[in-house]
């Protein structure tokens, strides 16, 4: 029969490993954790009656947890186009590339469609986000150090590469963090952006890849 916890002799704190270590059983078990008395005390602790109000309090806490809304989190990669900041769903990015030559396609290259780029030995379609959003090139401060990159994006079976002036980093956010797209946004950005995110002291447009890549596709028609 398990002894009530109040009457259990906590010998391990007196003559055991936490006491003066005079218990003769220590020569056999080496540590109180290996002693049947210690194991019996552990069972008594686990089998003890719950204190008054414990079950009701636990049920209330669990009910609050079940009612709490789950906040879905997304990740977006932040990049620069001239003096504008934008972001795109990180899941839609296959790779961030070093800037590389774009091979023009005669009679097909236009303001948006720039041509083809070589990505690991395969030619991929390349588009200009500057052209799509009507952002004038060359407005960046000439004294500002930037590193040009290309974003290789894919979604719904479409694959496109587009140049950006710099990659700034990755931001995590929830749906509640998205603000309204201002009317002063670049022409075209309002139709392609799902909202506005905060990046430090700046507001950046969160572009929807599911809308962006089909717009690139339209430039081929």
Q: What are phi and psi of 128, to 5 degrees?
A: -105, 115
CA 68 to chain centre: 21
What is d(CA 10, CA 14) in angstroms, rounded to the nearest whole number? 7
Domain extents in the chain: 5-67, 73-218
> pLDDT by residue (tens digit) across 19-58?
888 888 867 767 777 788 877 777 776 666 777 776 777 6
> Which residue is associated with the tokens 């200009």?
128
CA 202 to chain centre: 20
Q: Which residues contact 53 (CB under 8 A, 6 or more apart)?
A: none
Tokens describing residue 198: 């905060």
CA 111 to chain centre: 34
Cβ atoms of residues 177 and 198 within 8 Å: yes
Kindly tell me the burial class for residue 56, based on how many C-beta atoms sit within 10 Å of its own C-beta (0-12, 13-18, 19 or more).
exposed
Cβ atoms of residues 166 and 147 within 8 Å: yes
Give pLDDT tens digits along the chain (221 positions): 334 444 456 787 788 777 888 888 867 767 777 788 877 777 776 666 777 776 777 677 666 544 545 457 889 999 999 888 999 999 999 999 999 999 999 888 899 999 999 999 999 999 999 999 888 877 554 444 456 899 999 998 899 999 999 999 898 888 778 887 766 665 666 778 788 888 888 888 899 899 999 999 998 88
- Residue 37, CB half-sphere, CA atoms under 13 Å: how many? 15
Q: CATH classification of 73-218 is 2.40.50.180, yes or no?
A: yes
> pLDDT by residue (tens digit) across 140-155?
544 444 568 999 999 9
Helix H or strand E segment including 154: strand 149-155
**Residue 2: its pLDDT value, please?**
39
**Residue 63: its pLDDT value, please?**
65
Sign of the C-alpha dihedral computed for residues 81, 86, 87 and 92 taken in this order: negative
What is d(CA 207, CA 188) in angstroms, rounded to the nearest whole number? 11
């Amino acid at each position: 029969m398990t002894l009530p916890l109040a009457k259990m002799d906590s010998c391990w704190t007196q003559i055991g490993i936490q006491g003066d270590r005079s218990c003769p059983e220590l020569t056999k078990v080496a540590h109180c954790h290996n002693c049947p008395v210690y194991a019996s005390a552990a069972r008594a602790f686990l089998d003890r009656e719950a204190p008054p109000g414990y079950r009701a309090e636990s049920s209330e806490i669990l009910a609050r947890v079940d009612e709490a809304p789950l906040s879905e989190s997304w990740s977006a990669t932040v990049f620069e186009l001239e003096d504008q900041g934008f972001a795109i769903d990180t899941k839609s990015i296959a790779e961030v590339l070093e800037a590389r030559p774009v091979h023009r396609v005669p009679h097909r290259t236009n303001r948006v469609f720039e041509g083809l780029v070589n990505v690991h030995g395969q030619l991929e379609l390349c588009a200009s986000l500057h052209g799509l959003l009507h952002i004038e090139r060359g407005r960046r401060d000439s004294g500002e150090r930037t590193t040009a990159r290309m974003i290789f994006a894919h979604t719904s079976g479409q694959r496109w590469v587009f140049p950006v002036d710099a990659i700034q980093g990755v931001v995590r956010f929830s749906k509640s963090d998205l603000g309204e797209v201002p009317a002063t946004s670049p022409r075209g950005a309002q139709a392609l952006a799902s909202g506005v995110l905060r990046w430090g002291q700046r507001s950046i447009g969160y572009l929807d890849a599911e809308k962006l890549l089909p717009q690139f596709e339209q430039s081929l028609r």
